[in-house]
A and B are shown apart, each in its own frame.
Chain A
Amino acid sequence: MTTQGDSLGRYNERLMFALRMREVPGERIGEVLAEVEAHVAESGEDPASSFGRPQDYAAEVAAAAGASRSPWRLAPVTVAICLVIAAGAWAAVYLLTGAAFGWGSGRGGGSGTLGLSVGTAAGLGTAAAIAVALGLTRYTRHHQDLVVDPRTGARAAAQSGWVVALSIVATLAVVVALAFVGGLLAA
């Protein structure tokens, strides 16, 4: 039973994320997750063999729900996240290519990461930040639209905070790693 519970938990986590990205309302997501759990409990089957891949099932559910897409809206939290990523990316590139290690500064004209100027590298960092922010916009704009278990009325485990935090950290890590590798190559 432990294995089944584990695979169900993982499946529902991925399904919830996929349904969020397809902008299915939180109330409906709660229903869908509970249906999967109830069905798997009765049939004893693996969720993936009954429902297929989470992203495919999410597409099915979204299509059945009539794909009622709400208009594009930029949430304040998304703007803040974007600014943090851009600032972090710029700072990381600047520190790693310039002042902190002296790389680039002695090579005339401040050439830094991968031979790019600090300004260009910071621009790339900003572009990466915007790309992440666009994804997060879709994810966070239903932040208030909670996923509620229809059986108990309990709020489903908050996954959203993790996704947002992970996206920021991962983006920053990629930018820092690129700058660092670039610095090593240039040295």
Chain B
Amino acid sequence: MSQDDQWPGEWMRGVLSLCVLAVVAEGRTYGYAVAAQLTEAGLGTVKGGTLYPILGRLEQDGYLTSSWGEGAGGPGRKFFDVTPEGQARLRERSALWHDFTDRAGALLPAAETTPSERGSR
């Protein structure tokens, strides 16, 4: 997938929250770094307007906690940490996700038959 390509929106809506939780579970981080890491992972550009409501909802559900700290010369950063509930949720949902994509993948035609631009990845 090329740089400015985006995955289908409905796929992103389905999995983005879990991916954000996974990024935060790797260690204390903040909004912009989460967005950068998602891009790094090949999920495309995640806008602030999409990311922060997801972080807010994860915090509201008790999967994350947040606190404001010093930024690098900037106006401060909101740091996120995963809670034990968040860890449990991530394990449970990740297992489900793999099961789900395995089953869906088994149903779909093999990758060789998809258009060539997909095959180049």
Interfacial residues, chain A to chain B (CB-CB below 8 A): 31-32, 34-43, 45, 50-52, 56-57, 60-61, 63-66, 150-151
Bound CA–CA A3/B8 (angstroms)? 34
Report the number of A-B residue pairs with Cβ-Cβ less than 8 Å. 68
| B76 at interface, CB cutoff 8 A | yes
In contact, B47 and A38 (Cβ under 8 angstroms): no
Known: A34-B75, A34-B76, A52-B47. A65 touches B56 (CB 8 A): yes
In contact, A66 and B60 (Cβ under 8 angstroms): yes
Categorize the interface residue count of chain B.
20 to 34
In contact, B68 and A151 (Cβ under 8 angstroms): yes
| B115 at interface, CB cutoff 8 A | no
Q: CB-CB < 8 A to B35: which residues of A?
A: 43
Q: Interface residues of A: mostly helix, strand, loop or mixed?
A: helix
Closest residue of chain A to B76 (Cβ to Cβ) is: A151
In contact, A50 and B68 (Cβ under 8 angstroms): no
Closest residue of chain A to B48 (Cβ to Cβ) is: A50
In contact, B75 and A41 (Cβ under 8 angstroms): yes
Closest residue of chain A to B47 (Cβ to Cβ) is: A50
